[in-house]
Every structure is written in structure tokens, then in C-alpha cells.
Structure 1
Amino acid sequence: MFNSDSVVNLSNRVYRRRQRVNRMMLALSGATVVFGLFWLCWLLLTLFIKGGAALSLTLLTESTPPPGADGGLLNAILGSVMMAAVATLIGTPIGVLAGTYLAEYGRRGWLAPATRFLNDVLLSAPSIIIGLFIYAIYVAQVEHYSGWAGAFALAILVIPVVVRSTDNMLMLVPNSLREAAAALGCPQWRVVMFICYRAARSGIITGVLLAIARISGETAPLLFTALNNQFMSMNMNAPIANLPVVIFQYAASPYEDWNRLAWAGAVMITLLVLGINIAARTLFRK
């Protein structure tokens, strides 16, 4: 028998109640978005107002100065680039190979689930713990801070990000592609190299870029490993300047010129991370 109360119309009390609930939840969702964007915009506006005025060509041509003198952040920028490059070169192959095992070879058994769990733990571990770990096993043994120690700490932060992205992207590759290649007599390593990697290339590159964006602003692990250097130095076996630690030290100093350099360094790191994230999302869309 036809029930008029079940008809979706404005006179239906159930429909009106659901419509009110829907509007209320949409309003709450919109309010939370506005709330989050407000603080984000305030943070970025403050950052660019205070740091934008300090941006100049001098930042890229001169080293960090003593108090009361003019200078830039060249030595800190070079140190950060060197450590991030070494960390990426170390962490990317390990992460890609580990992610490949999880997606392609470890679909059965207990090892792959256990590895994924430990990788998730490492992914969410505070970076200061990584710095203390490298300090204990490397810095304390060689008895001095160094750029290598900083690069090793950053590499440990790179690995879980690359493992997760590689694993996820390879799992999205259709099994029909693997089966078609296997039917033609292609060995599994060739299937992975020439089919799976090509299909998941954009996602893997995205994970690497996101890992670089993560380590670009890490300060805590570098305080226990690379420390800092006031002068220009490209010796990775000695303490080396880097942007995050320079920003930390200069922002806490009582000198206004150092404070301005700290704001300028923060703007540079923000623009770098923003650019990397935009590039990663552009690649992922393709």
C-alpha cells in the first residue's frame, strides 16, 4: 500500500529532519574550514610581513654575520642543501626497494604486515628521537658533530615516507598488467622494473618530493647531529651550518639583525615547502 510519509518532499517530517541535520553539519564543516584557514592565513601573513622585508640578494651571497653586522644565509642554505641531498640519496633507494618488497613480494606471510606497522610507527615518531638515536650510535662514537650525522638522521626520516608512497602506488597498479606480462614469459623483476614502476612513477616521485619537504624544516635532529657553524664550510665531517638550526638560534637571540635573518630564513623554507608540495600534487594529478 502506498505510504505518503515515505515520499521525499517538503511535507515529510523525516525528510525535513534529515535536511536540518544535513544543513547543520554543512554549517559546522564550513565553520571548521574557516577556523583553520583563519589561523593559517594569519600565520602566513605574519611570516611574510616580518620576513618579506628582510628578503634580499644578500641572503644568497653572504654568510651568517656576527651580531651588529650585515650578512646573509649562504652557508646555512648550502649546508641544508648538502645534507638534504645526501639524505635523499640514501633514503630514496632504501625506501623504494622496501616498498617494492611490501607490494610485490610480501603479499603473503607475516613479514610484510609487521614491516608496514613498524614503518607507520617510524613515520609518526618524533624527529628528536631520531636525532638522539644518531647521536648515540654515530656522534658519540666519533666524538664530534658532523654533516654526515645530520644527513643520516634526515635519511631515517625520508625512508618511511618513501616506503609508504611506493607501497601504496604499486598496490594501485592493476594485477591484469602483471598477469599479461607473466603470460608472455616476462620474469617478475622485469614486470616490476618496466611495468609497475612506470605505472606508479608519478606517485613514487610524489613521495620522494614530500619526504624532501618534510626534512627541509627539521630542526630537532640536527641539534644533536650537525649542530651549526658560523662560517662557510662544505666539510661534511665537521659541524655544518643549516637553515633550521640558524633560524632556531637567531629567533631566540636578543639581536634585531639576527631576528630579521631568522624571519627571512623561515620565509625561504616556507616557500620551498610550498613549492615542493605544489609540484608533488601536480605530478600526482598526472
Structure 2
Amino acid sequence: MTALLEVTETPAPPRTVLPERPHDDEAAVPRTSLGALPLENRFLTWGARLAALGLSWVIVERLLPVSGLGWFVVVAALCNVTLLAAGTFVFDNPVAVADRVVQWVVTTGAVIVFGTLASVLVFVFKRGWPALHHWNFFTQTMHTTLPDAPYNQGGVLHSIVGTLIELGIAIAITLPLGIGTAVYVNEVGGRLARVIRTVVEAMTALPSIVAGLFIYSLWIIILHEPRSGFAGALAIGVMMLPIIARASEVVLRVVPGSLREASLALGASRWRTTWHVVLPTARPGLATALILAVARGIGETSPVLIASGYATFMVTQPLHGVMSSLPLSVYNSVIAPEPQAVVRGYATAAVLLMLVLILFVIARLLARPPSTKPSVWRRLRASFDGVPRRARSATSTAPLTETEVSP
């Protein structure tokens, strides 16, 4: 009986010791940015850069048998990453060393890309500036102007109009076909979808000269149609179609499947789900696909030369007669022996770059998702009201007094 009455003692659970809350004067200072480096790492970064410049000068000018700006830049980059890795290893662990080296590689790659792009732009605009600063270059044609004429005569208006017409026709044909192909492959599927995907992937590597020869054989030889701007637009469309289809398919795959499931669960058909849910969600990505296709098609020269031809006068009817374009104007100007024609070729290339930039900006603005911020007009209207914005906000948030509450 006594054994049954004995109470076994259970061990008490271990106590959890909570860390003490630091005092106000000992609180850690929060970091302003996760990507910002501490002060000592910043000093190390700039010290490695300055030391790399001095060390590379000694190596290139005193030790190596080569010299020049190119060798100096290469040696300075190698010295910079070496000194940066060594200095980081002294103050930190190997993981931080690898992080700093990879960060340097990525930053250097971005600088090289942007530097190359900037050098191309500066070179083209500098060589074509003698013709660009004349307004007649944008408002006249080369119909009555000789290749060696002064820069205040002639222009590329006919090529600008021809490029816009051909590109507009190509976009009108390839955009619905490309997006429709992507919708069929991604949303419908089936055995035929695999074949279509394989054909689209193969056409992305199609040489431009083959596209021009295809349109020339089909449109001019078989159908007995003349060389025209419409034939050039068809050749450009052959180059743009696989890019739009492939890029649009990738974009449609990124759309979450939960959106489709929610639409189908509410009773919508597959077509209404695709039209009202999938395509609006993927609109910015579809604009990117169009931009990539335009960048590929607007600079094509060989297919347009074969299918459309070159003219020095204004042509606005795409089905009647040859039609010029900016790439053809660049080609015909650069191969000419006159220096004035070569300068006009560089100026035409600069106009082509500006046109591409304008088209990219327009495509981005049209495909931008709706914003919840008030428009510029509403903000200007609010700023010109009689009561300032701060006064209105203060009045709306201030408590009511007794005189305001009483009737």
C-alpha cells in the first residue's frame, strides 16, 4: 500500500532563458539598404581601384613589351579584382571573397555592355552629324539630289516613310499570327502543338537571305507580282513571326495556373479565360515579344533588297512599285565612293536608331499595366486649387470642435 501511495516526482522542464533586451543606448543601428556595403568595404573598393591603376601603369609601361590603352584597361581590370579579393580575404571569410569577386564580374560585364552601346551610338552620331543638323535631311528625298551634293540638299524622308509602312504591314500580319500560335501551343496543346513548336524554334535561326528568297520565289516568280513594299513587308514578317510566337509562348507559360483555374471554376469557357484573364495578365510580356521582333525586322537589309528594291523618291503605295527603307539607304550610301554619301549613310543609321527607340517607348507605354496613381492632369489640377494639399489633409484629419459638431 505504501508503494502505491508514493508519488513519483517528474523532472521540471528546462527554463527558456530569453535574451535581455538591449538598452536604448546599445541598440543596433539598422542598415539603410541590404545592398549597401559597410564603410571599410567601400574604402577597400576604392583603394583597390586606385592601386590597380598605379600597378597597371607600372606593368604595362615598364614590365610588359606591349603598350596602349587597351592593354592598360585589361591589366587594370585584372589587378583590380586581384587586389579586391586579397583585401577582402584579410578582413572577411572566403564566402565574402567569392561574393565580392562575382559582384565585380557582373558589374564589369554591365559596364562593358553599356560602354559598347554608348561607343556605337557616339561613333554613328559623330560621323553623321554634318548631315543630321540640317533639317532638310528629315523633310526631303534624294530624287533630284546627287550623291556628292552638299548636306543642305536631299534627305531620307522617303526611306522613313517606307520603313514605317513596311514595318506596319509586317506587324499587322505577324502579331495576331504569332500570339495566336503561342495561345494554341500553350493553352490548347495536343500532338500538333509539338510540331508547331519545333517548326517555330527552327525558324528562329532562319537566315534573312533565305526569307527574302522565299518571298521572291513565291510572290514574284510564282504569283507574277512586281517587287513592292508589300513584298518587303512579307519578307520582314517571315523574320518576325517566329520571334513573336516563341517569346509569346514563354510569356504565357509564366502566367499562374491559379488564374486559369479560378476563371474556369467561375464558369468561364476556355476562350473567355484566355481572352479576359491570360492575355491581359501577359500584356507587358507580349509587348516585349513585339519589341524583340521589331528589333529583328527593322534592321533587315538583304530580304528587303531582294523583295522590295530601292528607290530615291517617295512611294506611299505598298502594292505599286519599289519602296525604299532606312537599311537600304544605309547600304546604298555607304558603298558609294563619295564622302558625302558615306556621311549620309551614317546619318541614316542614326535616324534608324532614333526610330527604333521611339517605337520601343511607344510599345512600352501601350503595354504598361494601369497604375493606381492619379494622372498628371489630376495632380496639376489639385496643385492649382485654392486650398493647398497639406491644408486639405490637415483639415480632413483634424478632430471636429464643439461648434462644428453642434447644428
TM class by smaller structure: 0.7 to 0.9
Distance 2:332 2:305 in 1: 10
Matching residue within 132, 141, 154 for 1:63: 141
Q: Which moved more, 1:268-277 or 1:95-104?
A: 268-277
Residue of structure 2 in register with 1:234 after alignment: 316
Q: 2:332 aligns with which of 244, 249, 265?
A: 249
Looking at structure 1, the residues matched to 311 and 207 of structure 2 have their Cα atoms a distance apart, in angstroms, of 25
- Preserved contact between residue 203 and residue 283 of structure 1 (Cα < 8 Å): no
Selected match of 2:174 from 78, 91, 101? 91
Which residue identity lines up with residue 238 of structure 2 in the other structure? I
What is aligned with 2:376? none
C-alpha deviation, 1:115, in angstroms: 2.0
SS of 2:312's partner is: coil
Structure 2: state its 5+ residue gaps. Answer: 1-88, 370-407
Give 1:7's aligned residue. none
- Give 1:200's aligned residue: 282
Residue identity (%): 31
Change (3 A) 1:178 1:27: closer
Return the match for 1:271 from 354, 369, 378: 354
What is the rounded CA distance, in whole Å, between the counterparts of 2:325 and 2:303 in structure 1? 12
Residue 207 of structure 2 corresponds to residue 126 of structure 1: yes
Partner of 2:196: 115
253-262 or 96-105: which moved more?
A: 253-262
Report if the CA contact (8 A) 2:334-2:345 is conserved.
Answer: yes
- In structure 1, what is the equivalent of residue 254 of structure 2? 172
Alignment partner, residue 258 of structure 1: 341
Q: How far off its partner does 1:167 sit? A: 1.4
SS of the residue aligned with 1:218? coil
After the TM superposition, which of the residue ranges 150-159 and 48-57 deviates more from structure 2?
48-57
**TM-score, structure 2 as length reference:** 0.61
Q: Is the 8 A contact 1:210 1:280 kept in 2?
A: no
Structural RMSD (CA): 2.5
* TM-score between the two structures when normalised by the length of structure 1: 0.85
Number of positions where the alignment pairs a residue of Structure 1 with one of Structure 2: 273
Distance of 2:279 and 2:186 partners within structure 1? 12
In 1: Cα distance, 2:326 partner to 2:211 partner: 19
The worse-fitting range, judged by mean Cα deviation, of 273-282 and 139-148 is 273-282
Deviations 1:114-133 (A, max 9, x none): 32232122122221221111
The 10-residue stretch of structure 1 (126-135 or 18-27) with the greater mean CA deviation from structure 2: 18-27
One-letter amino acid matched to 1:249: N
Q: Which moved more, 1:248-257 or 1:271-280?
A: 271-280
Relative contact order (C-alpha < 8 Å, sep 6+): which is higher? Answer: 1
Deviations 1:217-243 (A, max 9, x none): 111111111111122222323211111
Question: What does residue 214 of structure 1 align with?
Answer: 296
Q: Take 1:183 and 1:29, find their aligned partners in 2: how far apart are those partners?
A: 45
5+ long unaligned stretches in structure 1:
1-9
After superposition, the Cα gap between the structure-2 partners of 1:139 and 1:25, relative to the gap in structure 1 and judged at 3 Å, is same
Matched residue SS, 1:53: helix
> Is the contact between residue 159 and residue 326 of structure 2 (CA under 8 Å) also seen in structure 1?
yes
Distance 1:244 1:203 in 2: 28
Equivalent residue, structure 1, for 2:129: 52
Q: Pairwise mapping of residues 146-185 of structure 1 onto structure 2 (< 5 A)? A: 146-185=228-267
Q: CA deviation at 1:28?
A: 4.4
Question: Does the Cα contact within 8 Å between 1:99 and 1:163 map onto a contact in 2?
Answer: yes
Q: 1:143 to 1:194 in 2, by over 3 A?
A: closer
Distance 1:137 1:148 in 2: 13
How far is 1:52 from its partner? 2.9
TM-fit CA distance, 1:26: 4.5
Structure index of larger Rg: 2
User: Superposed, which structure 2 residues align to 1:27-46 within 5 Å?
Assistant: 27-46=104-123
Q: Which has the higher helix share?
A: 1
Supply the distance in 1 between the matched residues of 2:355 and 2:108 (Cα, whole angstroms): 30
Q: Which moved more, 1:128-137 or 1:246-255?
A: 128-137
Contact 2:283–2:367 (CA under 8 A) maintained in structure 1: no
SS in 2 for 1:54: helix
Letter in 1 for 2:148: G
User: By how many angstroms is 1:255 displaced?
Assistant: 1.6
Q: Distance in 1 between matches of 2:101 and 2:281?
A: 42
CA positional deviation for 1:20: 4.9
Amino acid at match of 1:66: L
Deviation (angstroms), 1:67: 2.3
State how far apart, in whole Å, the 1-side matches of 2:326 and 2:184 are: 35
Aligned-residue offset at 1:152: 0.5
